[in-house]
Amino acid sequence: MRVAIIGHGRMGREVERILGERGHEVALVIDADNEDDLNASKMAGVDVAVEFTTPETAPGNVIRCLEMGIPIVCGTTGWMALVPEAEELCRRVGGAFFYASNYSIGVNVAFELNRRAAEMMNRFVEYDVTVEETHHTAKKDAPSGTAITLAEDIVARLDRKQRWTLGVPAVGEADHAALEVASVRRGVAPGTHIVTYESPVDTLTLRHDIKSRAGLAAGAAAAAEFLVAEVAAGRRGRFSMSDMLGF
């Protein structure tokens, strides 16, 4: 598998290392100093692109790959409002686009548990629910894409929550129809996500801690392998971790 890596920061470098360990060729690395290399000539012969950049550059990178017919795996968060536009372009050009807010296997199992918990808790109105995420200070978006996924999945299944909001309301201004999402930036913490259901008599917590970026990179590499296999089998469109993991 010949791979183009778009974005050569900490995640991009980790993905490059994992791909090498799995026997794949990194045919091209594109970063801020060679953005013009994202063109049809340089991308010729590339089987798939893996994109980890910034919320500002990700949409354009995804669009260019889809327009060139290059399957793309994107892990950049902070641009989720524009993802539907990329999905529409993918459908229009018959492309292949894999997007996830988090490529950790454990996080995606937690997503499934979170959805199931919300469905089960819908009838128990005495429980309030909150979401909290903690990341390193260099993370540009807040809340994290993972926290947004957790929150949106809860809102879709819990009748008493109509929307999510970032931050905790001031005393006396609580909005019980809003799901509170707290975002903390501290040190070099790779990432912690906590969903808490609390009643007057007990607390139920769903928690995931990322120990290193290696798990995220391994998931992204597996997603690239999955996407190339899907394209080879004649299947295209928008794919997710649920597709890859069979949820």
Catalytic residue among 8, 135, 161, 208: 135
The single-letter code of the amino acid at 240 is S
Structure tokens at 156: 């879709």
Indicate the average pLDDT of the chain.
Answer: 94
Residue of 200, 74, 82, 186 whose CA lies nearest to 135? 186
pLDDT of residue 191: 87
Q: Is 139 a catalytic residue?
A: yes
Q: Is 211 a catalytic residue?
A: no
Q: Which fold has domain 2-103+213-245?
A: Rossmann fold (3.40.50)
pLDDT of residue 78: 87
Q: Look up the CATH architecture of domain 105-209.
A: 2-Layer Sandwich (3.30)
* Least confident segment among 97-106, 182-191, 234-243: 182-191
Tell me the C-alpha distance between 214 and 33, whole Å: 25
Residue 3: enclosing H or E segment and its boundaries?
strand 2-6
Residues 79-120 have pLDDT tens digits of: 989 999 999 999 999 999 999 989 999 999 999 999 999 999
Judge whether residue 162 has pLDDT over 90. yes
Domain residue spans of the chain: 2-103+213-245, 105-209
Residues 134-161 have pLDDT tens digits of: 998 888 788 998 999 999 999 999 999 9
Catalytic residue among 8, 139, 193, 208: 139
Q: What are phi and psi of 57, to 5 degrees?
A: -100, -20
